[in-house]
Amino acid sequence: MTSLILLSIFGIVNLFLGFMKSKKVLMPMVMLFLAVSLGATLLDWNNPQTYFNNMFTMDNFAVGFTAVMVLSTLFILPFSSKYGRDEDGNLAEYYSLMLFSLVGGIMMVGYENLLMLFIGIEIMSISMYILAGSDKRNILSNEASMKYFLMGSFFTGIILFGVALLYGATGSFDLTTISDAARNIDAGNAPLLLMGLLLVLIGITFKVGAAPFHFWTPDVYEGTPTVFTSYMSTVVKTAGIAAFYKLMSAAFGGVYEQWFPTVVAITVLTLLIGNIGAVAQTSMKRMLAYSSISHAGYLMIALTSFNDRSENAILFYSLAYSVATIAAFGILKYVADERKSDAYEAFNGLGKTNPLLAFVMTVAMLSLAGIPLTGGFFGKLFLFSAALEQDMLWLIVVAILMSAVGIYYYFRVIIAMYMKEPAGERITVDALASFTLIALVVLTVLMGVLPDLFNDLL
């Protein structure tokens, strides 16, 4: 809870910092804010507290996911240093929007009440609509913002409609009350409840970028400035999937039988569309967008299995996925800025010109592909284990086949970096970003060699 308050205050303080002449102070300050918030979050560990008349709980689940989100933001920031030198004067506002959106994210993982979930989603999303369009002179960025905003508000409306129906069926927004009502489902109210559930489900599916409501992802990701794309595909996704998981487990565990087929269908569809879509891309950024769709699919496997392993698996996977994705987007930003292209070809020969960048990218790709020695491997292993405990072998076979497809497009980057002739000169990377990249690699490998340090938390 402290982190929620701190981040709100820091966001406002940061707006005032924007009045200062030098923009150089901004990033260090925001990083400090985030570090303090991370510390405050961890202080809540094993000390569950409920706030706002039972509308918000800071239990270990919320602490875990909050920590992943704050840490991810902390890792993303160093890659935005270039913005500080740009003529663009709104840096403070962008950082504040990120902090505010984090507040929304925390509400999405700690909610005990559907209103809180709704407010969280809105706080997070509205910030993102603006950030998507923050590259004002770029027509793609404008398009991304518009598309994201229109689609996002439309789906928020659907969620709201669903919440209203649930209220009609159960007489409450409270998760526990809804859960009780769902367990003793009353035949008269059943259609109302299930309809409400379906609408909320559709809305959240949109937010996490799962098929069939994924279509906005590639365009929005492509147009959004890379730093914010990185934020979108990690923090927003983590918040969305945690909210999704919490909703299904805390409120609708009783009607598991009813929603299971829908969620499984969405999962399989997401895996297929994400992976097969990624193969067809020529732009690295669009590939990462499709890859993020596919990872939503892997994460949703935990939803379908739904046992005591899946909660841990989802947290571990979120962290592993976020770390690797941030590294990938961070490097993509440098390469794309320097070589004026985000196609695979822009990465040609990076192994020769920038061994560090190429190495970090390789580890990130291996992790996303789920190869051992990286966190991504154990992420997948834990998710698959959770599902296999539930005897869903066929689903795992689909996921395995899709993982093999994933190797195809992740390795294209590695091939471009090491096996092609350089596409340009050496790219200069500032010290902070290099340090962050090294930290990301260390974290990925640590998760891949000693997963127990991170596992078994929840």
For other proteins, the closer CB: 4 or 366: 366
371 torsion bin: left (phi>0), alpha (psi -120 to 50), beta (else): beta
For other proteins, the closer CB: 87 or 421: 421
CA distance 378 to 202: 29
Residue 381 lies near other proteins (rule: CB under 8 A): yes
Residue 168 lies near other proteins (rule: CB under 8 A): no
Q: How far is the CB of 339 from other proteins (least distance, A)?
A: 21
Q: How far is the CB of 351 from other proteins (least distance, A)?
A: 8
Window contacting other proteins (CB under 8 A); options: 53-61, 201-209, 218-226, 403-411: 403-411
Q: How far is the CB of 422 from other proteins (least distance, A)?
A: 13
Residue 400 lies near other proteins (rule: CB under 8 A): yes
CA distance 33 to 14: 9
Residue 373 lies near other proteins (rule: CB under 8 A): yes
CA distance 165 to 162: 5
Instruction: Provide φ and ψ at 304, rounded to 5°.
Output: -75, -25
Per-residue DSSP letters for 167-183?
HHHHS--BHHHHHHHHH
Q: How far is the CB of 190 from other proteins (least distance, A)?
A: 34
Query: How large is the angle between the packed helices 284-305 and 393-419, nearest 10 degrees?
Result: 160
CA distance 384 to 301: 8
Residue 58 DSSP label: E
Residue 272 lies near other proteins (rule: CB under 8 A): no
| Tokens (6 digits) for 342 | 């985000």
For other proteins, the closer CB: 312 or 322: 312
Number of residues binding to other proteins, judged by CB under 8 A: 30
Residue 280 lies near other proteins (rule: CB under 8 A): no
Residue 403 lies near other proteins (rule: CB under 8 A): yes
Residue 195 lies near other proteins (rule: CB under 8 A): no
Residue 308 lies near other proteins (rule: CB under 8 A): no
For other proteins, the closer CB: 257 or 308: 308
Alpha helices by DSSP H, listed for 209-354, are 216-223, 226-231, 237-246, 256-279, 284-305, 308-339, 350-353
CA distance 398 to 347: 31
Residues that bind other proteins (CB under 8 A): 312, 366, 371-373, 377-378, 381-382, 384-385, 388-389, 393, 396-397, 400, 403-404, 407-408, 411, 415, 418-419, 450-452, 455-456
